[in-house]
Amino acid sequence: MDFVNNIPLRPTSVKVSVDTMIRGDAFLWRPAQNMYTIAQAVGETIAWPQNCVVSLAEELDLEDIPPKKSTKLLEDSNAQNYLLTSPIFLPKLEDQGKFTLPCKLGHLELDNALVDSGTSINLISLTMAQKLSIHQALQRPTTSIMFGDATSKSPLGVFKNYPLKVGECIIQTDLTVLKMEEERDVPLILGTPFLSTMGASIDFHNQEVILHKVNSLVSYRLQPQSFEYCGTIGTTPLSSKSHGLPQL
């Protein structure tokens, strides 16, 4: 196995010698100790993605390079010169997969139901279930709830096909009931089942979502939430001994 700067050379990469540069602040594809940018790599041998190495003689339009630099690159006509095209480093963004919307759950009007693309179930608190008078009619849970921090918790139960109204649309929603410590900020969490049913299209670039089956002309703004909330919620099957319905 070949090595570059004590790092194994991958099958999709090649060794190149950096003689000159165009953008010195461009980051190296595979940084080495005390060498992170192209400017620091001049005179050194580095690894670079094979599909990002362009032959100057065959594919480069020299009009794109300042005259002094192109002359330097091509001054030796017998040498095989290459231009390294740098991968684009994108800025890191905050989590934008959530938004709130007004809806009506039974007789309750909610202004701030949380819709989260990282949640695979629809979740309500025990307090909400009691207000809806469904807490005594829950079906036995068959799954436990897995959170993004690797913790899990057994739900109190599930209520099937409860009517949820958004705009002029009413959908039958399966609600998983969980006892929560703080319930006032998140009375209802709607996940991917809701988004799928509503024909949602999420535009992360413009940070908005449209519920096409409600109103294709109305968009909701994706935004980070001000409260602490574990945004990844999934489920895992419960063991057969855990299928009993908890006491409420």
Q: Collapsing DSSP states into helix, strand and coil, what is residue 160?
A: strand
At 210 the pLDDT is 92
Together in a domain, 105 and 199: yes
| Close Cβ partners of 191 (under 8 Å, ≥ 6 residues apart) | 115, 116, 117, 118, 119, 120, 121, 122, 123, 233
Domain range for 186 is: 98-242
**What would the pLDDT profile of 162-177 be if each residue is shown by its tens digit?**
999 998 899 999 999 9
Query: In order along the chain (248 residues), what is the average pLDDT of each group of 10 residues?
Result: 80 83 79 84 85 62 50 41 58 73 91 86 90 91 80 88 92 90 71 91 86 89 62 62 49
Together in a domain, 24 and 54: yes
Q: How far is CA 15 from the centre of its chain?
A: 33
Smallest Cα–Cα separation from 99: which of 89, 81, 112? 112
At 70 the pLDDT is 43
Q: How many domains does the chain have?
A: 2
Together in a domain, 102 and 80: no
Q: Last residue of some domain: 50, 84, 118?
A: 84
